[in-house]
Amino acid sequence: MIRALMTAASGMKAQQMQVDTIANNIANVNTSAFKKNELAFREMLYETLREPGAPTAADAMSPTGLQVGSGAEIASSLKIFKQGEVAPTGSRFDMAIAGQGFFRILLGSGEFRYTRDGAFRPDGNGQLVTAEGLPLDPPVRIPSDAIEVIIGQDGIVSTLKAEGQAPEQLTNISLFRFPNPTGLKAQGGNLYSETASSGQAQQAAPGFDGTGSIRQGYQERSNVQVVDELVSLILAQRNYEINSRAIKVSDEMLQQVNNMIR
Amino acid sequence: MNQGLYDGVAAMSSAERRLDSIASNLANLGVNGFKRHGAATRSFDAVLRGVTTRQVATKTTIDFQQGTLRPTGNNLDLALAGEGFFVVETPQGEAYTRDGQFRLDDQGVLQTHQGYPVAWDGSRGTIDAVGDEVRVDPGGQVWQGGTSIGRLKLVNFDSPDQLRPNRNGLLTAPAAIDDAAYTAEVRQGYLESANVNAVDEMVAMISAQRSFESAARMLSMIDQTYRRLLSSQR
């Protein structure tokens, strides 16, 4: 019965983690380019009290054994990199990626981070930076005399210096793709870093190698579906509840043992 | 009267075993592809030194009934509809699972969330991780951009009862097991939920609790009888 107590407690812990994950998804329903998290559960160790196929007599064996599981645990968390809805924002420096690619961001330390949040703004020098002021890499500098900036689907940035003139090609924005994006490490602030499991970032021009095209003036919304999250939340709550019932029953049975001899 | 005491203890411990396996089923409600373990208690007559006594024993069987398929929309989530198993290559040899929550590693190898590669029919197919979308047809054939990469290995067994779970929640088979034809179809973008029915488990839990209770009651009555017997001698 102590085993049943522990087993049910492991179920409650797993469901609690599930609620934590769902709460984080729901909290980020308005975060641009947020990718929802999912948990993968797995069974814990089984205790074999009697081997299946153990001999019961000289010429007989038991067709089934006695194996009791010891609960559930979290195997891993998964980021679901499904495309979020792409919505117009009206800001000409906003970029959304329709595809699998990432923008690369340069940190002050010289390290790289990757993001799908394309809400860039020019800083004092005209360089495109994220909301935290981290520059896009390879860098894009918008000249101060530009009256219009055009970012093509293929990542080519052109500027218009004066009305009626031909646009001048400035630079290219590159996108990056990973063999296994679920293996990226989420760093908070919509940034991801490369890991051994994600594989090396592969640079490509937008629209090539499945990176996807860039949409100027659009932002990718979070890919969290509130209805799905609510259904999962209800399920997690009920599963939590029923595991707590199992604890209560084991407790009552233990109490029975204590009261047996008076 | 002594025998009654032992019978009571046997009944209590078998109720306890049943509760353990119910608690394990309930804890695994959220595990994809989980198959519930049913505990059965039976009584049998044991002949010991010429005296026949009634004994009880508990055994567990894995209930391989189909779980509900739940759409997830993820490309590498595969569910099996029908009888059969995915094959997983572990360092200890082949293992089997119905949990099709797969992913790609950086080399394009399809693997389980425990990190073991999924077995293919014949040579292992390599998925171009940065290539086109992967499609899996009901027969387990994997396609990418219109070309076939290979087929996932599916198996079934004559007596799946003999499969036993290992430490990673995967199933392993004894050497002597016979293969059987699988009827399972692969459904891409779905996961199979645990086949645990909360109501059934609740009912079973109540029944285990009550049978434990009545056995405990029987024990205390025997205890009282002994007590009366002892006090009558004074």
> Are residues B93 and B153 both part of a single domain?
yes
> Are residues B86 and B152 both part of a single domain?
yes
- For A152-190, b/e burial (b = at least 16 CB within 10 A) is beebbbbbeeeeeeebeebeebbbbbbbbbbbbeeeeeb
Inspect the interface and report whether the beta carbons of B27 and A49 lie closer than 8 Å.
no
Chosen from A12, A49, A66 to mutate, greatest number of chain B CBs within 10 A: A66
> Are residues A205 and A161 both part of a single domain?
yes
> Are residues B134 and B207 both part of a single domain?
no
> Are residues B199 and B187 both part of a single domain?
no
Reduced to 3 states (helix: H, G, I; strand: E, B; else coil), residue A35 is coil
What pTM does this model have?
A: 0.79
Handedness of CA B109, B115, B116, B121 (dihedral sign): negative
- Residues in B touching A35 (Cβ below 8 Å): none
The total number of residues written for chain B in this structure: 234
In the predicted model, residues of chain B with pLDDT beneath 70 are 1, 233-234
* Chain segment A82-108, per-residue pLDDT in tens: 899 999 998 889 999 998 899 999 998
> Are residues A197 and A146 both part of a single domain?
yes
**What is the structure's pLDDT at B137?**
92
Q: How many CB atoms lie within 10 A of CB B146?
A: 7
**What is the structure's pLDDT at B30?**
87
**What is the structure's pLDDT at B209?**
92
- Residues in A touching B205 (Cβ below 8 Å): 245-246, 249
* Chain segment B153-185, per-residue pLDDT in tens: 999 999 888 888 887 889 999 888 889 999 999
* Chain segment A117-159, per-residue pLDDT in tens: 999 999 988 899 998 889 998 899 988 888 888 999 999 999 8
**What is the structure's pLDDT at A97?**
93
**What is the structure's pLDDT at A58?**
65
Distances from the Cα of B30 to the Cα of A19, A41, B68, B180, angstroms: 12, 7, 12, 29
Q: What is the mean pLDDT of chain A?
A: 88
> Are residues A101 and A37 both part of a single domain?
no
Which residue segment(s) compose the domain that A8 sits in? 2-81+224-258
**What is the structure's pLDDT at B128?**
82
> Are residues B173 and B206 both part of a single domain?
no
* Chain segment A52-78, per-residue pLDDT in tens: 667 766 666 666 777 888 889 888 888
**What is the structure's pLDDT at A174?**
92
Q: Could you tell me the pLDDT band of residue A168, with boundaries at 50, 70 and 90?
A: confident
Tokens coding B83: 């009888």
> Are residues B57 and B78 both part of a single domain?
no
> Are residues B215 and B108 both part of a single domain?
no
> Are residues B180 and B109 both part of a single domain?
yes
Between CA B108 and CA B128 the distance in angstroms is: 6
Between CA A114 and CA A198 the distance in angstroms is: 12
Bond prior to B71 in cis (omega within 30° of 0):
no
B173's CB contacts (< 8 A; 6+ apart) are B94, B96, B157, B162, B163
> Are residues B185 and B199 both part of a single domain?
no
> Are residues A104 and A230 both part of a single domain?
no
Which residue segment(s) compose the domain that B103 sits in? 69-192
Q: How far is A69 from chain B (nearest CA, A)?
A: 5
- Residues in B touching A78 (Cβ below 8 Å): 101, 103, 113
Nearest to B71 by CA among B193, B191, B196, B184: B191
Inspect the interface and report whether the beta carbons of A179 and B59 lie closer than 8 Å.
no
Q: How many domains does chain B have?
A: 2
> Are residues A56 and A18 both part of a single domain?
yes
**What is the structure's pLDDT at A1?**
66
Q: CB-based burial of residue A261 (10 Å sphere; 0-12 exposed, 13-18 middle, 19+ buried)? A: exposed
> Are residues B126 and B166 both part of a single domain?
yes
Q: How many domains does chain A have?
A: 2
> Are residues B89 and B184 both part of a single domain?
yes
- Average pLDDT rounded to a whole number, residues A165-169: 85
- Phi and psi for A168 in degrees, rounded to 5? -105, 125
For residues A56 and A158, the answer to whether their CB atoms sit within 8 Å is no
> Are residues A142 and A108 both part of a single domain?
yes
> Are residues B121 and B202 both part of a single domain?
no
CB of A165 less than 8 A from some CB of B: no
